[in-house]
Amino acid sequence: MSDTQIPSTIYIVDDDEAVRDSLRWLLEANGYAVRSFAGAEEFLAAYDPEQVGVLIADIRMPGMSGLELQEALIARKAPLPIVFITGHGDVPMAVSTMKKGAVDFLEKPFNEADLRALVAGMLEQARERVREAHAQRDQQAVLGRLTAREQQVLERIVAGRLNKQIAGDLNISIKTVEAHRANIMEKLEVTTVADLMKIALARAEEA
């Protein structure tokens, strides 16, 4: 399945039914699958992080606000680009949300052409985020399949130890270290120590 064929959904979260309906009509008319929610809590209960999507949310809503929804998604490490719909006077607030990862904001009344262009760009970002998340998850799964000895060698490679030093640490020959090193890089499908370090450090951050 090509990236453009990956199923994707535009999520709309707004307590104003008229806004939800107008956005749904506009986006569905442009071929997008759309799901709309009257509140952030309802959206969070239904959201599947494995689904490629884009979130369009109002900043000011009863109950959980758009900003609180963004914080909740950040805590979940959700790969979901966000665009905030703002009313007059909310622009400074919207700018602050962009520093936390929101892609953009639209001020009411929004321009339909701007919205279409923004959603298209955001979907590409969403697909890239999901691709990266899947690749990282696959690499972490492979890390878990390394033998105990390969884990020991990898830990020392990450620590900057030379093959000779690793051999001394583990009381094995340099050739054995080199063989373990080659096996590790083959299993993780990397060709440089720099790439190996990235994978190992990413795992350490998740631990």
Helix axes 148-158, 193-206, angle to 10 degrees: 100
DSSP secondary structure string for all residues of 33-47 = EEEEESSHHHHHHH-
pLDDT tens readout for residues 84-123:
887 766 666 666 666 666 667 777 777 888 888 888 888 8
- pLDDT for the residue 143: 77
Greater confidence (162 vs 132) lies with: 162
**What pLDDT is recorded for position 4?**
45
- pLDDT, average across residues 199-204: 70
**Domains of the chain (ranges plus CATH)?**
3-134 (3.40.50.2300), 144-206 (1.10.10.10)
What tokens does 65 get? 């606000």
Q: Which of 83, 80, 57 is nearest to 127 (CA)?
A: 80
Instruction: Evaluate if pTM is beyond 0.75.
Output: no
In sequence order, what are the residues at sequence separation of 6 or more whose Cβ sits closer than 8 angstroms to the Cβ of residue 203? Answer: 140, 143
Hey, is 76 helix, strand or coil? coil
- 1-57 confidence digits (pLDDT tens): 444 445 689 999 999 999 999 999 989 998 899 999 999 999 999 998 878 889 999
Element counts in the chain: helices (H) and strands (E):
9, 5
| Mean pLDDT value across residues 156-181 | 92
